[in-house]
Structures are given as C-alpha cells and as structure tokens.
Amino acid sequence: MSPFLRETFAIIEARSARIDADDPAPLPEPVGLSHALSLTLDGEATSEEALTELLAGISEATPATGGGRFYNQLFGSLEPAAVAAELLSVVFNSSMYTYKVAGPHVLIEAELVRRMCEAVGYAPGEGGGAMTPGGSMANLLGLRLGRNAIAPESRELGLYGRAPLLVYCSAEAHYSIAKNAGLLGMGRRYVRAIEVDGQGRMRPEALREAVRADRARGLQPAVVVATAGTTVRGAFDPIDAIADVCEAEGLWLHVDGAYGGTLLLHPEAREALQGSARADSFAWNPHKMMGVPLSCSFLLTRHPEALAEDLGTAASYLFQLHDDTLNPGTRSMQCGRRNDAFKLWALWKHLGDAGLAERVERQLALTRHAAERIRQHPGLQLVGEPSCANTCFEAPGVPSEEICRVLAERGLAMIGHGRVEGRAVLRLVTVNLDATTEHLDRLLEDILQVAEELAGAGAA
C-alpha cells in the first residue's frame, strides 16, 4: 500500500477516535485559518511526509458531521458499510455513463432504481430514474420533465413566445424549487407559494384555488411540487389530496422527498407519504436519513421514457457498446459521473429492509425523546409538533440564532435555526445515529445554560 494511503487510514482513525471521545470541538475562526493550515497554493512542491501532516491538520479542523454533538443538517453520521463501498468507488474511479467503463455498477444502480421505485409504489416495470448530484438537481430534473410534459416543444425551442408555465409548491418548500424554475427559464416569478396549515403542510384547497385563479388570468399551470419532509419543520404535504388536484387539472406532480423519502422504508411511518405512487416524479436523497456519504440522490419517475427522450443525445464517441439500457449516460444530466450507487447498495445489502426500517425507527425514537424532554423543561417551548426527525422549539425570550452561534463557537453542539410563522426557532434534526438520548439530554441542558447566560447578558 502506498504510504499516502497508509497515512490516510491513520488520519481517519484519529478523526474517528476524536469524535468518539466527544470532547467539545469549537468551530475554528476562519480568519487566519488559511495561514495556520497552510492552505495557500504558493507553487512550491510539498513532500509526502509534509503533505500527510497537512492533511491531518485539515482533518482536525474539519467540523464533525457525526458524533454526539451534530444536529445541524438533514444528514449526519455514516454507516461503515457505506463508507467501505464509497472508498472502493473512489479507487475504482468508474464513470457511470456506460457499462463499458462501469461494468457491474451500472447494474447496481439499476437495481437501486428498481427497488426505490417499488418503495414509492410504482408498479413493477413502470418506474425508472436517474441519479443526480444532490436533491436540488433531482428537483431540477423533476421540474424539467413536468415542463416538457406540459410544453413538449420546449426541449427544442425553449419557452419563447408562449404563456408562462406556473409551478406550485408550499410556502415552506425547499429554495431549489424557485431556483430551478429560474434555471429552466420558467421564471422564479411564476412559482406560487401555496399557504400551509398550522403544521406546515400545503393546503390542497388553497392549491386548487390558486390553479383556477391563474387559469382564469390566461396563465398556464404546469407543475405541482409536494414536499415530503420540509426543510425546517419536516412537514409532509398531503400527497393524495394534492394528486387529486393535479389529476383534475392535468398537472405534473413532482414529490420532493429528498429528506422524507426514506420514511417509505418504514412500514408505519410511510403513511406520511400516502399517495406517493401517484407522483409523476419523485426526488429522494439517501444521503440524508440513510447514513451514506454525500451525495446520493435519485430522481425517480413513472415516465422513464421521458428521461431518455429529454436527455438522450447521440454521442458516438461515448456510447459504443451495448444498448441504451446499459448506458445510463443516455438519460442523465451529466456526462462524466461519479459512482454514488455502490455505497447505498452495500448498505442495503448489509442491513436488508428490516435493518433500514430499524434505522428510521431509531431516528424517530430520538425525535420523540427530544420532544418529550422539551415539553418537560419549563425553560423550553415546542413550536408545533415534531415531524420526520425535526423538532422546532425555542427558549422563549432568547434569540435562537444567538443560542446556535454560542453553541458552535464553544464546540458544544452544531444545531441550526429556521423560521416558523415569522419567528426564528431552533431546528433540532435527529438523523445522526451516533447521537444517543443521553447526548440529547446534555444538548438541551447546554441550550438552557447558554440561553440563561444570554438572557443575563441582555441578549434577550
């Protein structure tokens, strides 16, 4: 083994040991860090020994996204089986456009697509899909397929001289929906943010009214995005009722299940996605709740032929052997593409369906525990009910942003804040399975302590 690789494994071990030790790890100040870690590319060569030292230093300064102190993102902690396969993927250095260069990995990716379409509820043989570099891109592709379905000429001619195509999503949908409408030339202005109920779920009757009002104005409703697991509240839009509106109005239904799609693997929790089989397209990021390294994202669709029709392009320099079913590059937004499938396949193979369901159950159990403790603490207040693995709460009178900042600066915890009904709340995400109920109890104590200090210092 090359000394580089041997040293790299030593760095990985040291990093894991440090995170397991659970010591507070203050977020390094950005000012001066470039100098301290010698990040400048000054043109000089660096010896192998000096470089591995630099790598070790950078590893130490890199925030932990697992361990008992990380609650900041919709992802957190890694499954060893997935990491093992990911390391191998790097070494294989496949590009996923053809069977000729990726061999069995093309079959692995196809098997994941098949299995995930089954979980969404598509009939056997009905669904298909493509991997994308993240959920925003999966949403982009879903919106694009919807745009093409309503305006088939747009692939070749663009959207010149036609009535605007409207996109509808909940007021709490991910920001990629508006960004993608802009990227697709549909226009951010033509994205309608539909009112939500008290739990952050899109109100289907408000959707129906908005669609009808737009039609009456001579505009062309096109795509509805239902979110399965919103970013801040973890809310699930009622897919079945939204699908009724889409069917009645002839609209494409895209489900953004980037976060909550994983609940499909849990026999009871999947109820939150009732109606998912009616989605024309469905985005799902296993890198969020499934513990596989970033990124691992899929766009699944009930109309797989639409993917090839839209993205297929003759390239005789690339697609030289086998038919298109074995060359995923013929239905991908990318050309060269890293292998994001192997890590998920290895995890699924290792844990099986029951093991994956049990992972989700543990995440939901952590969420229930946190919510119960917050209910019990007089100094904390839940904001709405927890949903998916998100619990929103506050320390009344103390700015949530300040609490998050102090916790990160002291290295006590990484937790983020979001806005619910106009006010900033702490958003606790409990997908990180390194975290235990004891870690959560300590986190809440730390939050109370910091809130008390801030209140005493007049930050409230």
Residue numbers at the binding site for ligand ABU (CB under 6 A)? 73-74, 135, 231
Minimum separation from the CB atom of position 135 to ligand ABU (A): 5
The smaller minimum CB distance to ligand ABU, of residues 148 and 432, is found at 432
Nearest CA to 167 among 241, 238, 254, 248?
254
Minimum separation from the CB atom of position 219 to ligand ABU (A): 29
Token pair of 135, please? 């959920």
The smaller minimum CB distance to ligand ABU, of residues 73 and 77, is found at 73
Minimum separation from the CB atom of position 364 to ligand ABU (A): 18
The smaller minimum CB distance to ligand ABU, of residues 75 and 99, is found at 75
At 207, the amino acid letter reads L
Contact 238, 170 (CB under 8 A): no
Minimum separation from the CB atom of position 63 to ligand ABU (A): 14
Residues 6+ apart with CB under 8 A from 269: 263, 360, 361, 364
The smaller minimum CB distance to ligand ABU, of residues 222 and 283, is found at 283
Nearest CA to 253 among 232, 231, 283, 229?
283
The smaller minimum CB distance to ligand ABU, of residues 177 and 351, is found at 177
Q: What angle do CA 267, 269, 275 make, to 5 degrees?
A: 90
Main-chain dihedrals φ then ψ at residue 391, nearest 5 degrees: -125, 120
The smaller minimum CB distance to ligand ABU, of residues 74 and 167, is found at 74
Residue 397 region, left (φ>0) first, then alpha (ψ -120 to 50), else beta? left
Diameter of the chain measured on Cα atoms: 70
Minimum separation from the CB atom of position 35 to ligand ABU (A): 30
Half-sphere exposure of 35 (CA within 13 A, CB side): 3
Minimum separation from the CB atom of position 74 to ligand ABU (A): 4
The smaller minimum CB distance to ligand ABU, of residues 106 and 178, is found at 178
DSSP collapsed to 3 states, 219-249: CEEEEEEEEECCCCCCCECCHHHHHHHHHHH
Minimum separation from the CB atom of position 272 to ligand ABU (A): 18
The smaller minimum CB distance to ligand ABU, of residues 97 and 282, is found at 282
Helix (H) or strand (E) holding 126: none
Minimum separation from the CB atom of position 282 to ligand ABU (A): 16
Contact 234, 389 (CB under 8 A): yes
